[in-house]
Amino acid sequence: MVVFLIRKMEMRFWHAGKPGCRKTFGNPFAKAGLLPLLLALLLPAAYAQETEADAKFEEFKGQVSEWSQRNKTIVCDFLQEKKVRGIREPERREGRFFYDNEGKIALLYAEPAGDKVVMDGDRFVVVNAGKRMEATSASNPMLGQMSGLLQGCMTGNLSGIGKGWNHRLEETGEVYRLELLPQGRQPKRPKSLTLVFSKSDMTLEELRMEEGEGFMTRYVFKDKQRNVAFDRSVFE
């Protein structure tokens, strides 16, 4: 980035020296040999900023991992929003969320009663309008992506989200906001992911997936209860 800015400055001086331009400065960076000096001065500062950001991110991941090890189970309410292209208002559904530290996750929808999604490793169970379907991450990549995200956030293993993401971590108010952008063109990945964690216990508060072309999925988790007993039949 620093080199790009310096090159841009060089180009401005070069264009100023072209015939027809009002002022002729030549290229002072080249003439005076200032480019190596500027790089020597600016690159260490840029490197320090990147190193500081990386260190902060590693510290954040460590906190998520440390707190998640204390969570045998999590039960909470959730709000799901789905937006599709051409529809102004997102579809909203609510329900109960269940997690245990074996990596099992279940979302039970309030309406219609009986609808649910169960994620258990590479196995998924979807009950929709009374119809039960089983799938794998190979047959349903989007469910696989969602499963990896939720399991990674709940277990504290953010590396489970997968490699090939650029990240930006922000600390605002009482939450950490982590934005993930895929590196290069990766058609099977979302356009962006936003994860919001509570500072108080480093649990997931919100997950937002921008899928591109007007499609978006968002989950909000609230009223979380940690380490409570519940009926394991929710995972069936």
Q: Hey, CA dihedral for 64, 69, 70, 74, is it positive or negative?
A: positive
Percentages of the chain per state (helix, strand, coil), in multiples of 5: 35, 35, 30
Structure confidence by residue, pLDDT tens digits, 187-215: 667 788 899 999 999 999 999 988 877 78
- 150-199 tens-digit pLDDT: 888 888 887 766 577 888 999 988 999 999 888 877 666 778 889 999 99
* Distance in angstroms (rounded) separating the CA atoms of residues 98 and 205: 14
* The pTM of the whole model exceeds 0.85: no
- Determine the Cα–Cα distance for residues 97 and 226; give it in Å rounded to an integer: 12
Q: Is the pLDDT of residue 1 over 50?
A: no
